[in-house]
Structures are given as structure tokens and as C-alpha cells.
Amino acid sequence: MKKGFKSIALLLVIMMFAALAAACSNDGGSSKVSVGIVLPTKDEPRWVQDETRFKDALKGTKYTTEILFSQGSSNKEKENVETLINKGIQVLIICPQDGAAAASAVEAAKDEGITVIAYDRLITGTDAVDYYVTFDSNDVGAKQAQYLVDNAKGSGEPLYLYAGAASDNNAFLFFEGAWKVLQPKIADGTFKIANSSEAEALKDKAELSRDEMAKIIGQVTTNWDANEAKNKAQTHLTAAAADMKGDVAILAPNDGTARSIADVFASDSAVTSYVVTGQDAEIASVQYVIDGKQSMTVFKDVRTLVKDAMGIAIAVLDGNTPETNGSYDNEKKEVQAKKTDVIVVNKDNVKKELIDSGYYKADQFKGL
Ligand code: BGC
């Protein structure tokens, strides 16, 4: 009897250990990643900024995350997604290198039951995108254009147009927003287009189709590449007649391209003055704004985008329905979206918006 009791107790203890061991091995714990984050490239400060803001936001949380960069390659991006799938992610936050090419990567994730959140750039032509967190990109373009309009000098001012990469859906949204504001001012003679025959041919149309925009973007794209932007600006200024110089307005799509375009225009002695736009509030461009070398930037508070993306991810992990405030058509579905407003920053409000707000520190800049 006593012996029988002992062996039952021993058996129970063994069973408890076995159960504990099994629980530990599949607890979704330390070796697993719950949220995977894929960003386009480390070569642009914009995305390194996003990485930093993600890391700040994740400090001290219980969520296990991993951030991978695709270095401008859709193949690398696909590999990154596969790596994260193998690590057991439940949510994928991804900013695609190329919005259409990323479809197959997110479809692979979706097939595994993973929730897909497009981050900043929409993924097009697939129903495998669940949510989209974004800035109001149309408004970014509109605000850049409005800045040029507000600072136009008289009439007949040469207008140089530049755009982002055609593989990025945002490039179309930025351009669309800008065109709506610029077109009436081209029509009324405030501006004359200096560097795009395609834009010139469409200058009487208030609203452009995607194909029409693609024609202009094809001509004035920077591909989001500072060097390409510089070469294009040089080519344009070399080809420009004297009446396309003097005081000029330049629609530059983002900070990286704005700085290199600005440098080219600054070095042309026939350009008396230029007003040039940007976006992202990159540290180097904030310094350019302070120094009067770049006229403005559009500040997109990445902290908010990160907070929104993680907010959706956590809601999903907790089995709740995420909050959204709009939707975007990605050619396959209306993707539920969380949209954030943007702020124009120039010399006058740079300190208030970027330093006093705690986004950057004063000692990161000279001459504030
Ligand atoms: C982003 C911009 C960025 C650009 C180039 C766009 O999709 O919205 O903030 O400057 O890509 O990376």
C-alpha cells in the first residue's frame, strides 16, 4: 500500500515536470517574435529615423519585435518577410520598397494567418493588406505647392517640378496634391513650367488621371535618389534658356532630393533666388532650413506613425478591433487606414515645431 502510494506520487511529480517542460517549450516566449517590422532602406535618414522611433516606443514593452531593412531590394524584402514568418510573427508591419512588387511577400504572410499593416507606403494590387498607417500624403504635396504659391514673385516665374519614385504609391499622392494647387497658378500665369514637356502638355487639366501623372513623374522622377536628383537638376539647368532662370520655384519631393537640387540651383549664377520644398524634417534639412538653403520641409511626426502602427498591432494581438479613421483604395480593396496630419516647417517655426516639441534637441543644430 505504502509502496503503491510512493510510486503514484513519483509518477505525478514526473507528469508535472513533463507538463511544465512542454509549456515552456511552446510559450511563444523569448525565442519568438510577435511583431515583425520591415523598412525599405538604411541609406535614407528618413527610415533610420523610423527605426529609432520604433525602438524608443518599444522600450520596456512586453512585445517582442524585430526590425529588418530591405536595402532598396524587393527580393531582400521578400526574404525578410520569410525570415519573420519563420520566427512566428503574428503581425507584420511593412513599408514596401515597391508598392506593387511587395504584394507577393505580404500574400505569403497572409497565408500564414499573419495580420499585415502597410506602413507609410501602401501595398497595391492585393487583398492581403489588412491595415494602412500613413500621413496625409495628398496634403504633403498640397502644402509644398501652397508654399511655392505663397512665395511666388510676381508672374511668369519658372517652376521646376521633381517627383518621387513611380514604384512608390506616395509619389502619386504627393504629386496629385501638389498639382491641384499649382495647376490654377500655372493657368493664371503665376508660374511657367520649366522642365517637363509632359506637364506642359497637361497644364490646362485641373485633375490628372494616374496615367497622366505617370507621364509627368516618368519625366521628372528622382527615384528618391539624391544623386539622380542632382544629375537631373544639372541637366535641366544646362538646358534652360535665360528666361527660365532668375527667381525660380522648385517642387522637390522630399528632403534628401531637396538638398541636392538646392545645391545645384545655388551654384548657378543665373539663378537669382530659389524657393524649394521638402518633406521629412531630416536633421540635415532642418539645418538647411535654418541656414536658408532649403525653404521649407513638411514635418511628419514619425512618433505618431509608430504609435499608430504598434497600436493596431497590439489591438490585433489582444484580439480587439483596431481603430481607423479612413480608407485607401489599393486597386483590390478599400484598406482601412489611420491617417495623420502634417505640419509645414520653415525658418519661422522650426524652433517651435521641432525643438520645443521635443522632437529634436537644440544641440543637434547650429544657428537656431
Ligand atoms: C515617404 C517619404 C520619403 C520617401 C523616400 C515616401 O514614401 O513617405 O517620407 O521621403 O518615401 O524614401
CB 254 near ligand 1, within 6 Å: yes
Residue 13 predicted with pLDDT over 80: no
Residue 126 CB coordination number (10 Å): 21
SS3 category, 165? coil
pLDDT band at 150 (very low <50, low <70, confident <90, very high): very high
SS3 category, 348? coil
Do residues 119 and 40 make contact, with C-beta atoms less than 8 angstroms apart?
A: no
From the list 302, 305, 306, 337, the residue with the least C-alpha distance to 322 is 337
Residue 148 predicted with pLDDT over 70: yes
Nearest alpha carbon, ligand 1 atom 6: 170
Catalogue all structural domains in the chain, each as residue range(s) with its CATH number: 29-129+302-340 (3.40.50.2300), 137-300+345-364 (3.40.50.2300)
DSSP 78-129: HHHHHHHHHTT-SEEEE--SSTTTTHHHHHHHHHTT-EEEEESS---S-S--
User: Can you tell me the distance from the alpha carbon of 90 to that of 279, in angstroms, rounded to the nearest whole number?
Assistant: 32
CB 121 near ligand 1, within 6 Å: yes
From the list 146, 158, 189, 121, the residue with the least C-alpha distance to 277 is 146
Q: How far apart are the first and last CA of the chain?
A: 87
Q: Which atom of ligand 1 is nearest to the CA of 95?
A: 7
From the list 13, 93, 30, 22, the residue with the least C-alpha distance to 64 is 30
- What pLDDT, on a 0 to 100 scale, did the predictor assign at position 62? 85
Residue 247 predicted with pLDDT over 80: yes
Give me the chain's average pLDDT, please.
Answer: 93
CB 120 near ligand 1, within 6 Å: yes
- What pLDDT, on a 0 to 100 scale, did the predictor assign at position 8? 56
- What pLDDT, on a 0 to 100 scale, did the predictor assign at position 175? 98
Do residues 252 and 162 make contact, with C-beta atoms less than 8 angstroms apart?
A: yes
Instruction: Render pLDDT for 325-349 as a digit per residue (tens, 0 to 9).
Output: 999 999 999 999 999 999 999 999 9
CB 98 near ligand 1, within 6 Å: no
Q: What are phi and psi of 200, to 5 degrees?
A: -60, -45
Instruction: Render pLDDT for 270-319 as a digit per residue (tens, 0 to 9).
Output: 999 999 999 999 999 999 999 999 999 999 999 999 999 999 999 999 99
User: Can you tell me the distance from the alpha carbon of 70 to that of 56, in angstroms, rounded to the nearest whole number?
Assistant: 21
